[in-house]
Every structure is written in structure tokens, then in C-alpha cells.
Amino acid sequence: MGAAKETRVSKGHPKPVRATAVDLHALVDASDDAIIGKAMDGTILSWNKGAQKIYGYEADEVLGQPISLLIAPGHPDELPKIMKRLQRGEHIKSFETTRICKDGHLVDVSLTISPMKRGGVVVGASVVARDITKQKVIHEALCKTEERFRVALKNAPVAVFSQDLRLRYTWVNLSAPRYRKYLGCTDAEIFGGEDGARLTAIKEEVLRTGIESHSEIALTFEGEKRYFDLVVQAVHDAKGKPLGLLSTAVETTALEETIARLQQALDEIHVLRGLLPMCASCKRIKDEHETWQVLEVYLQNHTEAKFTHGICPECMRKLYPEYSN
């Protein structure tokens, strides 16, 4: 007889433990996901507690039953298509669909379906279903919120824009398409000079302190002096780390021009209310430019009054007595 071979086990590498069928069954049964085994004719062969939780059926109610009892109305072609793909040996991942539960209510699920082979032949399939109903509700609510936000920004007379930590513009809303050409630029590059320095200082302070800034600013933009009501806020991630800035700018140029015109009108009214130098002989008035003007010309220049010419009754009798009664 030959000498028996000695088997040595390294102390630093323990012998791997092979999982038993009992261990695997326990893992499958403990899963919150539905794990279902089915034959190629659609017969349900295995059913874990996760499947019971999601679909409401006890195992003894569905074992031996067709998987089609879970197919929701309106999906008649879904199962045949899945079976054809399985027969070709395909793995189906993250397939989102709707299933019907024992009590009749619908549930949104994400399916992963894997073919089971024996001797190279597909003899069945393993179906893992995850309930994504809550995620779908949250996703739909988020989509609706984003759509409302998009419509509101599209129609709002306000520019909304974001900047990164280097203060480069990264996004601008649809209602401000004229500003998109400045994406990737900084305020110093767009405005330059004092305007660029002032905007940069405001935004650097918000990044440094995290405190919102609200200011009324005047900028020379595209060759015109324009006024804006500017709000700048810092944007942070879930851990409070700064990501950049989100700002809104409402142009107030028209309002500022209206205020200037009103102030000019008030100033002109104030001049008329003051003491006006008048010549005692010719009745001319000295204006703010030290120019002597005829009274009617002065009034026309400083008010909206217009003049027509006529003659009063006393002057008529004095100048034209032959025409007076």
C-alpha cells in the first residue's frame, strides 16, 4: 500500500465553509424581495415569504398554479414575451411592470428574471421581484414638482442661475436665453471693472459665510446701464459641504427709469413753487440757466400747459373802442 498523503491546512487561511441547501433556503426565505421559482410552462415551483408579503398569497395557495395569476389586466402579451426571452437563455434585469395581488390591488415591481438550466437546456426560471410602489409614487411626485418648477421659471420675468465654487455660471433658466452664452464665464469676465469686482465680492462673501445676500445693483450690461434686484444663496450637499451658488435677478431698469422721471417732474414742480425772478417792465422770467424767457415760453417748458392767444374784454375796450358795446 502506498503511503497516505498528509493534508495540511494553513493556519492563516481557514478552510472555506460550503453553504448547505438549508442555509440557502433560509437566506431566500428571509429576503424582503419576492423570490419565485417557475417551470417553463409557467407553473410556480417555489414561493418565499417575501412573495407572500408582496402579493398576499400563502405558499400552499400558489404552488402548482400558473404564474399568470399575478399578471395585471392590460398586460396580455407580457408573459409570452418573457418566456420567449428565457427560452433563448436571456437574463432580464430591472424590468419594471405592474402585478396584481390576492386582494385585487395593483403593485409596481422591478423584476430580475434568470433562466435555470440543466444540461445546457433551460428548464425554468428564478424571478426576483422588488416592490417599488413607494419609489414610483415619490418619483411621480418629484416629476410633477419639477415640471411645475420648470413652467414657473419659464414664464417668470426673472433670471435664475447657478454658479460653481469658482463662480463660473453653470445653468440658467429658460426665460433668460440671452444669458446662456455666458455659461462657463465668471462675473469678472462678463462685466469686468468695478461691476465685476462688486458682484464677485458679494458672491464670495455668501460662499464664505453661507448667509443669503439681497441687494439692488446697477450694472453696465451689453453697453447699457441696467438695474437688478439680486438674491444670492449658497447651495450645500447633504453633509453641509458648499457646492456653489443659486441666484435670482429681477431686472428693475424700467422701474428705476419711471422713478427718475417722476423725480424730475417733482423737481420741476418744486421750481415753479419757488421764487421766480420776473422783470418788472417786460415780465420776462429768469430760468435756472440764468436766461430771461417770456412768461408763456417758461411755463410751456416747465409744465404741460399750452397757450392760445385772445384778448380780454377790458383790453378790447381800451384798444378797440369802436368794436366795444
Q: What is the DSSP string of 284-302?
A: -EE-TTS-EE-HHHHHHHH
In a domain, 3, yes or no: no
- Determine the average pLDDT of the residues in 160-181: 81
- Determine the average pLDDT of the residues in 13-17: 54
In a domain, 35, yes or no: yes
Alpha-carbon gap, residue 130 to 294, rounded angstroms: 93
* Per-residue pLDDT at 7 exceeds 50: no
In a shared domain, residues 103 and 183:
no
Residues 42-58, buried b or exposed e (16+ Cβ, 10 A)? bebebbbbbbbebbebe
In a shared domain, residues 210 and 111:
no
- Determine the average pLDDT of the residues in 164-187: 82
In a shared domain, residues 304 and 210:
no
Q: Tally the domains of the chain.
A: 3
**Helix, strand, coil abundance in the chain, percent, nearest 5:** 40, 30, 35
In a domain, 140, yes or no: no
The residue range of the domain holding 37 is: 21-132
What pLDDT was estimated at residue 177?
63
User: Domain of 179: which CATH number?
Assistant: 3.30.450.20
* Per-residue pLDDT at 4 exceeds 60: no
In a shared domain, residues 223 and 315:
no
In a shared domain, residues 55 and 115:
yes
In a domain, 61, yes or no: yes
In a domain, 15, yes or no: no
Domain boundary among 88, 117, 132: 132
In a shared domain, residues 286 and 197:
no
- Which 3 state secondary structure label does DSSP give 142? helix
* Per-residue pLDDT at 260 exceeds 80: no
Q: pLDDT band for position 165 (50/70/90)?
A: very high
Residue-wise pLDDT for 214-242, tens only, equals 998 888 877 788 888 899 999 998 888 88
